[in-house]
Every structure is written in C-alpha cells, then in structure tokens.
Structure 1
Amino acid sequence: MKRLLPTWASLLLFLLFMTQGIIAQKKTMSWTTSSKEAREIAGKGAAHMMNIEFAQAYQQFERALELDPDFTVVLTLMANLSNGETKKKYVERAFASAKNKTEGEQLFVKLVTPENKQADNQKLWADLYNMFPDGSFIGFFYTITRPTPEEQFAAAQEYHKKFPDVAPIHNILGYMYLQVKKDNATAKQHFEKYVELYPTGCNPYDSFGEFYFITGDMVNAEKYYRLALEKYPFNTSSIEKLNEIKIAKSKAKAD
C-alpha cells in the first residue's frame, strides 16, 4: 500500500490541477474597474436591474461611478437607464472609456449606439452570449431579448438549468407560464420561488401581486402589493394597482 501512495497523490494533484483549469476557463465578461468597491456596488446595481428595480439600480450605479468615473460597463448601463441629454452624455462617456478595455467591453458598449434598432441589440446580446456563455448577467439579457416568445421560453429554460438560484429568472418564467403558456399552477410555483430566493426585494412581491390580480384573487393581490411597498415605498406599479383595487371596492359597495 505504501508504494501506491505517491501514485494516488500524483493523481489527486493532477485532478486538482484539471479542476482549477476548468474553473479558470469559464467564459464571463470582464468588468474592468480601478476600484474593487465600485465593482461590488455595480454588481448590486446589476442585480436590481435584472429584477426590474431600475431606480435602485440607478442609485447603485451612480455610487459606483463616484469611485470609478471610467467604469465602462456601468456607464453603458446608465446610458441604458437614462433619457435625453443625460443619456447622450453617458453614451459619450461609455464609448470614450471603452477604448483601452477588453474586447467584450468594447462590444458591450455598442448596445447604446444611438442608431441601433431593436434587431441590432438582439444580435449584440447574442454575440455577447456566444462570447460569454457562463455569465449570468449576459445570459439573462440574452434570454429576454430573443425575438419571439418561443425563443425566449427556450432560452429561459436553458438559463434556469444553468443558474437555478438566480432569482429573476423565476420572475421571467412566472410571467411566461402565466401569460403565454396559460399554466397558472406552474406560474405560481415560479413566483413563490422568486419570493423565496429574493425575500428582501420589492419586485418579487409586486410580481406575485400581479399574478393574483390577473387570476382574479384581489385579496392576495392587495396583500402582495402592500408587501412590495414595504420593501420599496415608491414602487409605481404597486401603488397604481392598489388604487385600481380601491376603486373596484368602492364601485362594488356602491352597487
């Protein structure tokens, strides 16, 4: 047995080396920045963006840019979230900042090219996904920008297999099953999972409220819209839906 030990040790080291090599080969896009803190803050902003929490995303991205004004990915996302002259300035800054960045970042910034049509950006997301198939952020936006509902559904299922614990994919699948597949039971399971994975967020409760609103359960709809506002009091969609429910209640009493 003693003579076998070096062989097993060598094999173990070889397997460890191979595993590290596989991990190192994961294809994700660089988020080049001079500030580690800016990268962490940008990650929080990106998560908000994936969860349709755009105001919170904007705030996080502003903080990241205070730490690194030339953060290409964040400048691009800020351009995407902005309008008018503010958008124009972010677009200019994003392109200027990308000149010495990675190939992926130089492709990413093209998403805010002013002349782009929807089809242009769909192709750009596809190109980015082909370059970086292991990135959860790139993969998510590739999924939701597919040209047809069928392609979106197929991409969402594939994404869910890769990243089952990325909360916002359950939001996407929930709505797909609710509105496209007309499968309320499966839709509900995804909205439940969305809340489970992201209990501190506003959008999971807003989406679950929308599920109940669409399926006619106004008691639970009101409950979840109120829970959404507990997480973020300025959530417009929850406020508007609660007003609709209030008006409907008043009409019902009047009748």
Structure 2
Amino acid sequence: MKILFAVIALLLGSVTIASAQDFYLPVSSTSKPAIASLHRAAELYANVHFKEGKAEVDKALAEDPNFFMAHVYAMQYASRATRPGIADKTLALDETNLNEAEKIMRQLIVKWKADTASKAGETMKALVAAYPKTPQALEWASLYSFYSDKDVDAAMDYAQKLAKLSPKFAPNYNTMGYLYMEKKEMDKAKEALEKYIALAPKEANAYDSMAEFYLNNKEYAKSAEYYDKAAAMGLADAKERADKARTMIK
C-alpha cells in the first residue's frame, strides 16, 4: 500500500536494526514511557498501522503533555479540520529546552502556518546536515522529498544513503520501491519490494505494496495473489483490491 500522509507525508522509522538511541533523532522529553510510546508509534506508522500508531502517540502525550515531537506526530496524522489547532498547540510549547532537531522541525511548522504549500527541502537538508549519521534524519528527508515536495531524485538520494547506513531498515525499501516505480524502473522497484518482504515478512503492507507493483506492471494474477496474502494477514481493503485485480485478468 502506498504510504499515506495527512500533511507532509511523513512516516517514521523503526528500531529493528539499531537501538532507539542510535536510530532516532534526539528528543527533549525526559519521560522514558513517553519516548517508548513514540518509538512504538513510529514503527507502527512506518508499516501503515495508523490506528495503532495514533494510540501510541496519545499515550506519549498522556505521559508528557509537553512532548514536542509527539505533538508533531499528532499534527501530521490529524484530520484536516483539527490540524491547524494542533499546529497552534505545538508552536505554543515552550521553546527553551528544544534540541536542534526539534528546533528544525519547529521552523518547518512555522513555515506551514505561513504557507501550507511551503516545501520542506531546505529544512530537510538542514536536518541531515545536523544529523548525518542518524538514520531517521535520512528517512524523514526521503519521505518529505517524495511525498511533500514531489522531488523524486532528492528522495531517492536520501533513501539510497539510508540503505547504506541502515541496510536492514525494512520500510526504506518500500519507499524505494515506489520511487523506482515513479521513475519507471520496474526491475529495481521489484527488487526493492522483495527486500521489504524479506526483511519484514510478517508485515501485511509489504505484500500489499508488492501487489500494487504487479498491478502497475499489469501482472494481474500476481497482483491478486499478493493482495490475497495481505488480506489474509488482516489488511483492510486488500481483499477488495484482490478481487478487482482478478477482474482485470484476461
């Protein structure tokens, strides 16, 4: 399934190949339960478990109502109607103890308030420059470039750097699969999505993404097969997509 974004198309990473301290950007919250909940939310969102991810963000905010990054997550995945209010609440938080990553993200929110069509490219360059060895910085930069700024080349550059830095971070291969499809490089797209499945065989989204690849490649029987796998793993709407793919088989 193509990753969906409420405002900026941002999915955050997991910690399957590194400790949270190594993978994630730093946060100013000192609440260990809040940070743990936010990291769980990130992993859930990365594999398209949106309902469960929101529940973990809510837990993080319950533990620490002033948790800046948790407010950022809440805003990103909020409905269009509630998003401005959450953005205002985020910007109203005390800036005094924000770290560099949080200050960079706050600057982006300020830009959105002034212009909802504002691009994130320069902000992401600053984030990666500040945290060049932090995988999440590259992940965010790739996703912002792709889904917010529509800059496929920049997104691919960040994704490839992330693959070198964290070669076992599964969701990045999902992003790369869609980037290659955008570039019409279907062999490379398939290879990337196969890597996603290999690294995350229990994630329904991995099979759903491969099903979409086959659909785009007009291999409808294979598409239905993978949608069926995603449906069997509990992914909502995958069965309907499998049936639709079957109707296209000639």
TM-score, scaled relative to structure 2: 0.77
Indicate how the Cα distance of structure 1 residues 179 and 85 shifts in structure 2: closer, same or farther if over 3 A, else same. closer
Q: Deviations over 1:52-76 (max 9, x none)?
A: 4433322221222122221110101
Aligned to 1:112: 109
Structure 1 residue 43: Cα displacement: 1.0
Which stretch of structure 1 is more off in the superposition, 222-231 or 131-140?
A: 222-231
Q: Deviations over 1:136-155 (max 9, x none)?
A: 22211212333532222222
Structure 1 residue 39: Cα displacement: 1.0
Superposed CA RMSD? 2.5
Cα distance in 1 for residues equivalent to 2:125 and 2:53: 23
Indicate how the Cα distance of structure 1 residues 90 and 222 shifts in structure 2: closer, same or farther if over 3 A, else same. same
The question of whether the paired residues in 1 share the 8 Å contact of 2:37 and 2:57 is answered with yes
The question of whether the paired residues in 2 share the 8 Å contact of 1:33 and 1:71 is answered with yes
The question of whether the paired residues in 1 share the 8 Å contact of 2:23 and 2:135 is answered with no
The residue type equivalent to 1:227 in the other structure is K
Aligned to 2:90: 94
Indicate how the Cα distance of structure 1 residues 182 and 79 shifts in structure 2: closer, same or farther if over 3 A, else same. same
Aligned to 1:187: 189
- Tell me the matched-pair count: 222
Q: Confirm whether residue 78 of structure 1 aligns to residue 74 of structure 2.
A: yes
| Structure (1 or 2) with the greater helix fraction | 1
Cα distance in 2 for residues equivalent to 1:69 and 1:229: 37
Aligned to 2:180: 177
The residue type equivalent to 1:87 in the other structure is R
Cα distance in 2 for residues equivalent to 1:61 and 1:53: 12
Aligned to 1:8: none
Aligned to 1:33: 29
Structure 1 residue 212: Cα displacement: 1.5
SS of residue in 1 equivalent to 2:82: helix
Higher relative contact order (CA 8 A, sep 6+): 2
Larger radius of gyration: 1
Cα distance in 2 for residues equivalent to 1:210 and 1:28: 29
Cα distance in 2 for residues equivalent to 1:246 and 1:74: 42
Q: Confirm whether residue 69 of structure 1 aligns to residue 71 of structure 2.
A: no
1:105-254 aligned within 5 A: 105-113=102-110, 114-146=113-145, 148-184=151-187, 186-234=188-236, 236=237, 238=238, 240-245=240-245, 247-248=247-248
Cα distance in 2 for residues equivalent to 1:125 and 1:52: 22
Cα distance in 2 for residues equivalent to 1:174 and 1:212: 12
Cα distance in 1 for residues equivalent to 2:86 and 2:233: 29
Which stretch of structure 1 is more off in the superposition, 37-46 or 103-112?
A: 103-112
The question of whether the paired residues in 1 share the 8 Å contact of 2:138 and 2:159 is answered with no
The residue type equivalent to 2:99 in the other structure is T
Q: Deviations over 1:192-246 (max 9, x none)?
A: 1101212232321110111111222222212222322334443x5x355235225
The question of whether the paired residues in 1 share the 8 Å contact of 2:224 and 2:246 is answered with no
Structure 1 residue 182: Cα displacement: 2.2
The question of whether the paired residues in 2 share the 8 Å contact of 1:27 and 1:133 is answered with no
The residue type equivalent to 1:159 in the other structure is L
SS of residue in 1 equivalent to 2:114: coil
Aligned to 1:11: none
Structure 1 residue 164: Cα displacement: 0.8
Cα distance in 1 for residues equivalent to 2:35 and 2:168: 21
The question of whether the paired residues in 2 share the 8 Å contact of 1:195 and 1:205 is answered with yes
The residue type equivalent to 1:102 in the other structure is N
Gap regions ≥5 residues in structure 2: 1-21
Query: How high is the sequence identity, in percent, across the aligned residues?
Result: 21
